[in-house]
Amino acid sequence: MTTKNSSETRFLLGEADLPKFWYNVNADNPVPPAPVLHPGTKEPVTPDFLSVLFPMDLILQEISTERFIEIPEEVREIYKLYRPTPLIRARRLEKMLDTPAHIYYKNEGVSPAGSHKPNTAIPQAFYNKIAGTKALTTETGAGQWGSALALAGNFFDLDIEVYMVKVSYHQKPYRRLMMETYGAKVFPSPTKHTHFGRSVLEDDPETPGSLGIAISEAVEIAATSGGAKKYSLGSVLNHVLLHQSVIGEEALKQMDMAGEYPDVVIGCAGGGSNFSGIAYPFLRRNLLEGMKTRLLAVEPTATPSLTKGVYTFDYGDTAMMAPIVKMHTLGHAFVPPPIHAGGLRYHGMAPSLSALYDAGYLEARAVPQLATFEAGVQFARAEGIIPAPESNHAIRAAIDEALDAKQKGERRVILFNLSGHGNFDMASYQAYFDGKLVDYDYPVEAVREAMASLPQVPVIA
């Protein structure tokens, strides 16, 4: 889809170019996600049920079918601390690979928290603040989301309580310190603070934890607080993916500045937030304007919810307290292996993304751990930025696309989302350099076994 070969490397937008609207894929989705179900009754959830966890503005965004939703000025003012983020052509990486492909990346690591996560943390904190919320609970895996919500909570004077997956809590102490610097309280999950956390520890005192467990703890705290605390989620739900669309909206303008249009758009995928953030605005072009851009979600072979998971109804958390959604899932009791250092550890995938993938509008690929770190090191030595381990999955796929273009002699335009930097993830890199990381393919048999504990939902759903 190349139109001309720009000699520039950095494509920068000014504050005036900061998007004024988020894009809502629900308006154009040819395969709308199935209804969200109550974990107890298995009937569609009501706003009253969701209001225990979320403020009404976010609930309305969750179910909205408006194509564009206006970004509040208070949110845009904070976005201006780091947005618009740069689009960069990876010329040095292209040269290293000796490829005819043109590789571009959207650098979301320039945010104060070091990742794309503030794009939704800031509006979630804003909407909670104007609704009168005083405190938020949440979970975090690698720490990017917890850092972002701690940042946003500080801006809006909200108390933040973070349940961090235990293995990450110990692997990534600087992420925890970052959250504490912003004023958040951070606990290694599972904890003894919740009924569910205590039950998990009784069964397995040495458990490494999981995002499903951490979500359960955060949800339990919020749901039993009598309204004193709300819950905040950094991925999966539609309002989260909506807020992340600022990435792709900016990228559309920047690719126009570059005089090119991507043949493939790539993002790593755990719950789906950064992938959908860059991909959904390009999907809109595919659906409404007949463009043919491939949209590729990249996940770990250790947590292959899209490529090995089952598309079905499942709980969003391990304790079966969160709503039931239809998604690609490995089973709500999934616990990733402790040797997995690359993040993206959630058992399921965003419902809208799952529906689109199931219908063939998106592609997915699972990549092994060692190959992702190899790609991250290669990128760092070419472009100078040390990527987050999660972002390495997208880099792996981008390099593979560039090498495939080289082999076929094609000029291919590749765009990927560099979802965050890895400056606080050096322990993972050290483990890679020391030969302590291994590849792990999550077994299909384990997925089959997990399906036995799926919720039994009405046929009508």
Q: Using an 8 Å Cβ cutoff, are 282 and 299 in contact?
A: no
Is the Cβ–Cβ distance between 202 and 308 less than 8 Å? no
The distance in angstroms from the start CA to the end CA of the chain is 41
The model's pLDDT over 394-406, given as tens digits with 9 standing for 90+, comes to 999 999 999 999 9
Q: Answer yes or no: is pLDDT of 2 > 70.
A: no
pLDDT tens-digit series, residues 208-226: 888 889 989 999 999 999 8
- Res 18 pLDDT > 80: yes
**Distinct helix (H) and strand (E) counts, the chain:** 18, 15
Copy the structure tokens of residue 131. Answer: 């609704």
Q: Which of these, 162, 136, 142, lies nearest to 58 by C-alpha position?
A: 136
pTM for the model:
0.95
pLDDT score recorded for residue 461? 47
pLDDT at 460: 54
pLDDT tens, residue by residue, 125-166 = 999 999 999 999 999 987 899 999 999 999 999 999 999 999
Kindly state the average pLDDT of the residues 301-315. Answer: 95
Distances (CA, A) of 137 to 222, 248, 346: 6, 28, 18
Summarize pLDDT for 218-258 with one digit per residue, the tens. Answer: 999 999 998 899 999 999 999 999 999 999 999 999 999 99
Please enumerate in sequence order all residues whose Cβ is within 8 A of that of 228, keeping only pairs 6 or more positions apart, or say none. 134, 135
Q: CA–CA separation, 290 vs 391, rounded Å?
A: 29
Q: Where are the alpha helices (DSSP H) in 107-237?
A: 118-130, 144-155, 166-171, 173-181, 195-203, 211-223
Q: If you count them, how many residues does the chain have?
A: 461
CA distances from 255 to 151, 265, 288, 295, 337 (A): 30, 12, 18, 16, 39
C-alpha to C-alpha distance for 382 and 279, rounded to whole angstroms: 25
The percent of residues above 70 in pLDDT, for the chain, comes to 98
- The fold of the 10-21+70-114+243-453 domain, in CATH, is Rossmann fold (3.40.50)
Across the range 285-297, mean pLDDT stands at: 98
Residue among 260, 247, 263 nearest 401 (CA) = 263
pLDDT of residue 319: 85
Structure confidence by residue, pLDDT tens digits, 24-81 = 999 999 998 789 999 999 999 988 889 999 999 999 999 999 999 999 999 999 999 9
